[in-house]
Structure 1
């Protein structure tokens, strides 16, 4: 089951209608029903974004408690070398039991990326939440974006159905999309980035695209204000993706465009290898979910321990999504030797593939982190400034792992603030090369299955 594309039912409906009769988007935009839908989206944006904010804060608190406070509480000055082993073993047991026994199997598998699918039923939301907290909070190498999309869409539909039982399927799909926009946009740093992500992931198009995006953008804009207000009110700190303080980048040159080709090809090879590992392992894990998910968790812990033992850097570089660790990596990149960075790439990449095969979470942030680390490694070679290498690495790895090239360009550009516009041409070249090469490397789909098809689509819950 896939829960990452809440607008997919509407997309399928729009496609069927497009063959039957043209859609008068302008008339719908002027209708009173659409105005009411916009008001509903604005109302939904606030509580869903607040729920997303506290979910992200809870994940951060769990990580800090498990790897900092708990070791001190049992008598260690810092977490000992073996500490990730029991934590990720416990994570595997909890996630395995959730997948095996709770409705919805804890949400969609991150191996599937952001494929279209249905909104989780209300009874499935506890399983999605538990699997996400057990995965992310205990150190699994996945991000929070996929659970946020599922929870945001599911909570939005639940809120509407509490006030009105007979919600039309099309309205429910747009409301779910708005909830997902609100939940994910502040995390990615911009409502526009969230719009690109969900637009590409859901496969929406044609005259109905704007009709679906407007409620989502409205909910996301209000949600961003909620994130800012809650941050100031609680003092817990921001949870959005941001990397300030990077050195300025003037403009690209011919040598850097050559590096864009190289980085695109390398990202396609690395990302395809990670995806192959996750795809190959998943069927075996699903046969003995609880046992093998725990074994995979122990393997992820072993990679983190090996990295710490060899490089002396903390195992947090390998564990977790990389969201909180990305800024320090970029700002302190000079403190990592080339050997340490290569070890980081190997351990993080393997841990990423293992985590995707078994646990629940999103693929975005580990891809950002691995792409940035790869860019730092290559910046030690002539003709490639660090900022350009990082931007191209981030964009190319995101394009491979998400298969969403527009979103990849947007993420890499917005992440680098003032440098983003200057480096955008290089990012575009690297993303296009990575996207095309990875498509050539991917297994061929049967002719009857359209690209990106996730199988039968489950209708919205009633």
Structure 2
């Protein structure tokens, strides 16, 4: 995922930092709140539409919830609906998502309605993608456009950094994730002043976005795993082995991505690519069951609420099906992010490892597997560590994950990413 934008340059050595930083507070707060409200609005709309299409409508028709026929019908309908949006809306709902990361150059504001509609339909109709990429792209586009109109003298990178940080804070319910992502983006970039001076306004925006989300929606990454209170050498070995195995598993999708993308691109028209992709997703969903549908976070909580009740065969099937669903959804043109589906894949993989070796602590298994899959599919080290630790909700796990990330990173670094360049070739 790309984070190729940076906050504005720090103040010169002879300038008072307060005179530079204080005027940034108000725009950062405004961008943070608005970014969170847009995210929450799209989430709420998608949830309402999901309730109608997946519960009210099948009940009215006398069809069981999540029957195979209904899953196939809804995912095919998702392909048709999103295909129409991409075909007919101005800007075609943004560029090909296969070549877009978590960020990038601002889109034209006229593209935003189509992108948000395509993302909402994907979320509501069960496509295995999350909201992060479209929401970040939309908030960046709007903040950049409005910010440049309101204050033309302010560098455009300032508004990009505020919108990116605010949306990441809103998505994860904490500004910590935004700080970690931005610290990666700032590494090696020229500029004077402390890192905290450069992060000041983005962190204000991230904090405002996170607090708005917390106050209105109370998000939580706690999936109810039993806490790890006294980690030992066995836990460290398990974490390193599981993280490495999960990274290899996630790399499978990265290696297949260019080929799957090429197959769908040969169809050329969105009304062929998206409906076919939706049909394939429907067939996968019918095989994998309802937990393998949608973005994945709520499904992770359901999966981990019954540790020990899933057979190893069931968990392996869900991990494979969700990985294939993410691959297909990202290849055929559905608009959405890949972090949340990757979290489900990692959780299912970790529970599979725990089912095969019951001595492994569930928190170690799930958090280290999520770490490995995220490293493979995102190449965002800080985000991978943060999400893995947040799922375990246990400070003791963080030290294990830091060490487990080392062999996993050696496995994925330099390998194909789950992102392509504009010629359709894998990024490394």
Sort the TM-score into its range (normalised by shorter chain): 0.7 to 0.9
Matched, 1:322 2:322: no
The answer as to 2:11 corresponding to 1:32 is no
Query: Is 1:341 the counterpart of 2:315 in the alignment?
Result: yes
Quickly say closer, same or farther: Cα 1:29–1:365, change in 2 above 3 A. farther
| Offset, 1:59 | 1.9
Secondary structure, in 3 states, of the residue corresponding to 1:333?
coil
Report the Cα distance in structure 2 between the residues aligned to 1:259 and 1:111, rounded to whole angstroms: 33
Contact 2:87–2:271 under 8 Å retained in 1: yes
* Residue 304 (str. 1) matches residue 291 (str. 2): no
- Where structure 1 has 5 or more consecutive residues not aligned to the other structure, the ranges are 15-22, 232-237, 308-314, 446-451, 455-462
Equivalent residue runs for 1:241-252 within 5 Å: 241-252=220-231
Matches within 5 A, 1:53-64: 53-64=40-51
> Match for 1:85 among 72, 77, 85?
72
Matched, 1:263 2:237: no
- Select which of 363, 373, 386 maps to 2:348: 373
Identify the residue that residue 416 of structure 1 maps to in structure 2: 392
Residue equivalent to 1:457: none
Deviations 1:23-64, CA, capped at 9 Å, x for gaps: 655556626354322321112222222121111122222222
- Partners of 1:28 and 1:98 in 2: CA distance: 49
CA RMSD of aligned residues (A): 2.8
Q: Is the 8 A contact 1:372 1:393 kept in 2?
A: yes
TM-score between the two structures when normalised by the length of structure 1: 0.82
- Is residue 214 from structure 1 mapped to residue 200 from structure 2 by the alignment? yes
Q: Distance in 2 between matches of 1:147 and 1:393?
A: 26
> Are 1:134 and 2:115 counterparts?
no
Determine the C-alpha separation between the residues in 2 that align with 1:51 and 1:25. 35
In the superposition, relative to structure 1, how do residues 274 and 290 fare at CA in structure 2: closer, same or farther (>3 Å)? same
What is the CA–CA distance in structure 2 between the aligned matches of 1:25 and 1:391, rounded to whole Å? 43
TM-fit CA distance, 1:302: 0.4
Tell me the distance in 2 between the aligned counterparts of 1:10 and 1:129: 24
Change (3 A) 1:353 1:27: farther
Alpha-carbon separation, structure 2, partners of 1:53 and 1:138:
18
Taking the aligned partners of 1:67 and 1:26, their CA distance within structure 2 comes to: 59
**Moved >6 Å (runs of 4+):** none
1:76 aligns to 2:76 (yes or no): no
Aligned to 1:19: none
Deviation at 1:364, TM superposition (A): 0.5
Residue in structure 2 matched with residue 186 of structure 1 by the alignment: 170
CA distance in 1, matches of 2:245, 2:322: 16
Match of 2:180 in 1: 196
Q: For residue 425 of structure 1, report the CA deviation from its aligned partner.
A: 2.2
**2:102·2:133 contact (CA, 8 Å) conserved in 1?**
no
Deviation at 1:115, TM superposition (A): 5.5
1:341 is displaced (CA, Å) by: 0.7
- Aligned residue pairs: how many? 415
- Deviation at residue 103 of structure 1 after TM alignment: 4.1
Instruction: Report whether the alignment pairs 1:279 with 2:258.
Output: yes
Going from structure 1 to structure 2, the CA distance change for 1:178 and 1:364 (only over 3 Å counts) comes to same
Please say if residues 151 and 180 of structure 1, whose CA atoms lie closer than 8 Å, have aligned partners that are also in contact. no
Residue 198 to residue 149, structure 1, CA distance change in 2 (3 Å): farther
Residues 9 and 350 from structure 1, CA distance in 2 versus in 1: closer, same or farther, beyond 3 angstroms?
Answer: closer
Structure 2 alignment gaps of length 5 or more:
420-425
Q: What are the Cα deviations for residues 383-408 of structure 1, in whole angstroms up to 9, with x where unaligned?
A: 41111101101111111111011221
Which residue does 1:360 correspond to in 2? 335
Residues 324-376 of structure 1, C-alpha deviations (whole Å, 9 max, x = no match): 11112111132211111111111111111111112111110111111111111
Contact 1:186 1:227 in 2 (8 A): yes
1:115 to 1:72, Cα distance in 2 relative to 1, 3 A: closer
Contact 1:178 1:219 in 2 (8 A): yes
Q: Which residue of 2 aligns with 1:434?
A: 408
The answer to whether the 8 Å contact 1:107/1:150 transfers is: no
**Aligned-residue offset at 1:453:** 7.9
